[in-house]
Structure 1
């Protein structure tokens, strides 16, 4: 009989969080076919009912789900453990799964961090119930605008929330290691005044690369993250401290305001980029 997994005791593995795209209420024929597919996770589990598919990536899929008696909806991230274990990089993927659950289950509720509601295992499906964030990710929001940039006040409003979110994480000993536009979800939005700047309320998500950093450690040593956002010490030495998260935040805010990366004219080759950043850092020092 499938057992519920309490989020406070779970050592289960969960894959990289798939960004939840903008919520669409209506379902079409493809959605109905997906619900009945044998390759899909269970339609009902522990009082929840799976609905429209929101996205997928790797071994995981994300659906809207509802629960009887609850006025709010949820997102369920369903990880196919059987498929995951067939991955050529299975150990790394399982570690990301485990790390994500361990971090989210231990974090208290914060307005700028995505909330893990519950976890379950049904056969070879691992199910993460998360709060539903229906506004899409910040990258999608930015690229849908014309011109492709935020006003200063809009970027400052987002930046302030991300500073609060990172301060909360760092205070709990968590370094995110992959802060980028795609990993910031828009929970809601409003205009400051008629025809004024749009103020986006945001939450940090995707903790697959995150880790706890012991106070006695200066940094976590591994080269992870998304290249255009990586701090020089990450590219050069694989050393990722709390400060590297702040570098990522700086790059993110630059992109919001300018509409492009600060190093957009640099080569894409990883080794050459490393050399350029290291030379630049040495010159500044």
Structure 2
């Protein structure tokens, strides 16, 4: 494998297939998607997203995306796109040079594309291209529209930025962030023993947890968490991707008073010596300065007694969300989805538990020989942990306790069911995580910079083909030789 091939640049899930039980998994592509043809439409007419317009021609999209995304407001890519729109009136395929196919998913393919403008800095994007005829024929149009709408409202450090959306007669294109570090699935396979240390797993799990918390706050149930969908940016921090299986719903923020939030965590292992297992602590301990007239010094005193008073906390969990669709990836499906009981936001906390298990142990807990056996194990087999892990010491009692609570087969007893990420963040496993300043933490792995000359040389060596005939005569058609757009 050469240097270019060793850098996995997929923005879409490369392992996604639909309705297949007989596929044989491979080491690099171990997971398969399971989905009914019935699309999730319940609750969509009441969605908070339904009233937002996404037109790129009249400037509405520009105002929504550019001016209302403070986390990406200073990104030079916005300026480049705006320059093109001001110059040519609209953005289209002719403004991009397609460098490499990054991957493909169930509803389209993703390409590494460079914006052809006269700027000193390279403007690279991940361009997701979807065949509109295929979307209609396979009844996937609703899924594509759901993904576009969700991407349009996201503004979070660990979630993707949708820079623009444009269409030709036959294809629809989403212009998104490009992550040069690949995904956590490939990164995990490069680790000793093909698994992360518990410290590294805690780092990635913390950032993913904040992403899910934000999505739930925005009324989005993700439903497709897995290492392949967690991309690594050039700075080593993560970005969650792929929202075509997500469910939109209503959410009602509430402020609740909870006393001793950690007191319920009784770690089973009696040998555990962590202070959080013995004395419950609070995430927030506000204190006031008190002046001592005798010593003429300021000293700290608690604002309230932690033994008697309660701590207010914001809970933003879409507990009323319901869906009956059979969607997700087999190894990550929750028992309630497999049983057909209907599911809500708790499925994200089940997949979060599977995700953490895989990061630490290098495999998912219920995987069988085939998809049918995997589904049977999820519903009928108890959770088991490996006795040891090659290449590192065994996991702590804190991580196993957290995973057990997340992988409760009864969704109503699952950690996070009632209070969402607020409840999970208070688990002792995350002790020491500074949630407000987590972007300042040093990532376990920082990817090597991508050599664009390799991409250019690889492009020159490729067989040159043109874009499909469906774009001939379109004002947005690219001129010259480019990689052919392929669709799954």
Normalised by the size of structure 2, how large is the TM-score? 0.44
- In structure 1, what is the Cα distance between the partners aligned to 2:59 and 2:360? 38
8 Å CA contact 2:218, 2:251 repeated in 1: no
Describe the SS at the equivalent of 2:193. Answer: coil
Distance 1:267 1:131, change over 3 A: closer
1:217-256, CA deviations, whole angstroms, 9 ceiling, x for partnerless residues?
A: 3422322111211222222235232221011011101001
1:29-64, CA deviations, whole angstroms, 9 ceiling, x for partnerless residues?
A: xxxxxxxxxxxxxxx636433322222345522222
Distance 1:238 1:119, change over 3 A: farther
8 Å CA contact 1:138, 1:182 repeated in 2: yes
8 Å CA contact 1:105, 1:116 repeated in 2: yes
- Which residue is equivalent to 1:97? 144
- Which residue is equivalent to 1:244? 347
Aligned positions of 1:58-137 closer than 5 A: 58=106, 60-67=108-115, 68=117, 69=119, 71-86=122-137, 90-91=138-139, 93-107=140-154, 109-137=155-183
Describe the SS at the equivalent of 1:240. Answer: coil
- In structure 1, what is the Cα distance between the partners aligned to 2:325 and 2:60? 27
Q: Does 1:260 align with 2:363?
A: yes
8 Å CA contact 1:232, 1:277 repeated in 2: no
- In structure 1, what is the Cα distance between the partners aligned to 2:57 and 2:185? 33
Distance 1:57 1:171, change over 3 A: closer
8 Å CA contact 2:102, 2:110 repeated in 1: yes
- In structure 1, what is the Cα distance between the partners aligned to 2:346 and 2:59? 29
Q: Does 1:48 align with 2:48?
A: no
Offset of residue 267 of structure 1: 6.6
Q: Does 1:212 align with 2:248?
A: yes
Normalised by the size of structure 1, how large is the TM-score? 0.72
8 Å CA contact 1:188, 1:202 repeated in 2: no
- In structure 1, what is the Cα distance between the partners aligned to 2:223 and 2:58? 26
- In structure 1, what is the Cα distance between the partners aligned to 2:59 and 2:180? 23
Gaps of at least 5 residues in structure 2 are: 1-54, 63-91, 253-319, 383-407, 414-488
- Which residue is equivalent to 1:167? 213
1:155-189, CA deviations, whole angstroms, 9 ceiling, x for partnerless residues?
A: 00000100110111011111001111111111135
- In structure 2, what is the Cα distance between the partners aligned to 1:184 and 1:8? 30
Distance 1:61 1:77, change over 3 A: same
- In structure 2, what is the Cα distance between the partners aligned to 1:97 and 1:66? 23
- In structure 1, what is the Cα distance between the partners aligned to 2:202 and 2:175? 31
8 Å CA contact 1:180, 1:252 repeated in 2: yes
Q: Does 1:178 align with 2:224?
A: yes
- Which residue is equivalent to 2:266? none
8 Å CA contact 1:266, 1:273 repeated in 2: no
- In structure 2, what is the Cα distance between the partners aligned to 1:237 and 1:58? 23
- In structure 2, what is the Cα distance between the partners aligned to 1:54 and 1:281? 36
What is the Cα-based RMSD across aligned positions, in Å?
A: 3.1
1:139 to 171, 174, 185: 185
